[in-house]
Amino acid sequence: MHELLQLLLSPAVCGKPPLNTKVGTRIVGGQAAAAGAWPWQVRLDINGALCGGSLINNQWILSAAHCFSVVVYLGETEINNSPNSVSRTVSRIIVHPNYNSDTHNNDVALLKMASSVTFTDYISPVCLAAQGSDFPGGTTECGWGSAPSTLQEVSVPVVNNTQCNSSYSIITSNMICAGLTEGGKDSCQGDSGGPLVTKNGTTWIQAGVVSFGNKCALPNFPGVYARVSEYQTWISSLDQTLCFVILPVSPKEVNSLLSAADFC
């Protein structure tokens, strides 16, 4: 059994949308998300350019290294028109030291907000996948890229790395791929840094960070994501006060760990 490595700074439970909104099955090929459906989703405004991210506790955001002055918007569904949204400036950006912009390897970054946020029905953290996690079920990706101003969601299956590498030739164990063989559903420009999540029981766990692809939603070219489970040691090493939840992707283990957790 994987160990619960770190805990949240608040009694809020990660990976559980308080409003429990219905998830759509259809970003490219997706559909508009309901307000509060993905309360860990973050929009990054990088000098007018768009990226995504995920809230992992009340002051830290996980995103992609290739996305980088940043203002972050939390609790947002419709850009510039969400009454539950709050914004924060960023006081610290940490790009993975081994990020390679040519191969996209280690395409992860952490952002520390200048002040913490209060968790609400529309703002809450996601759980992170533990090292060694497998993702046999489907995954869901959210973002505002190449889509209307309303947050979009799309469900895509995981593609094994061997198959994915036959398309890209640069896939490493630090990456995870997801998409349809026939194409039509994918993350796209503007979604970079956003979370790829999978549901186990009633808990949502982040499996990936939107990284790159060949255009958007093309046949035989799935989206490629940084594999979150490979970065728990790096995340933990950055700040001794950084507190978050890492959970295995197994419903029984998730439920037992959450019920036993003494949240900090």
Catalytic, 45? Answer no
Among 66, 104, 155, 211, the active-site one is: 66
107 is catalytic: yes
Residues 131/232, Cβ–Cβ less than 8 Å: yes
> Is 66 considered catalytic here?
yes
From CA 35, how far away is CA 49, in angstroms rounded?
A: 23
Which one from 2, 10, 107, 191 is the annotated catalytic residue?
A: 107
Q: Which one is catalytic: 82, 85, 133, 192?
A: 192
Place of tokens 């692809």: 213
Nearest to 1 by CA among 218, 260, 262: 260
The residues facing 54 across adjacent strands are 41, 62
Please say whether the beta carbons of 9 and 264 come within 8 A: yes
As annotated, the active-site residues are 66, 107, 192
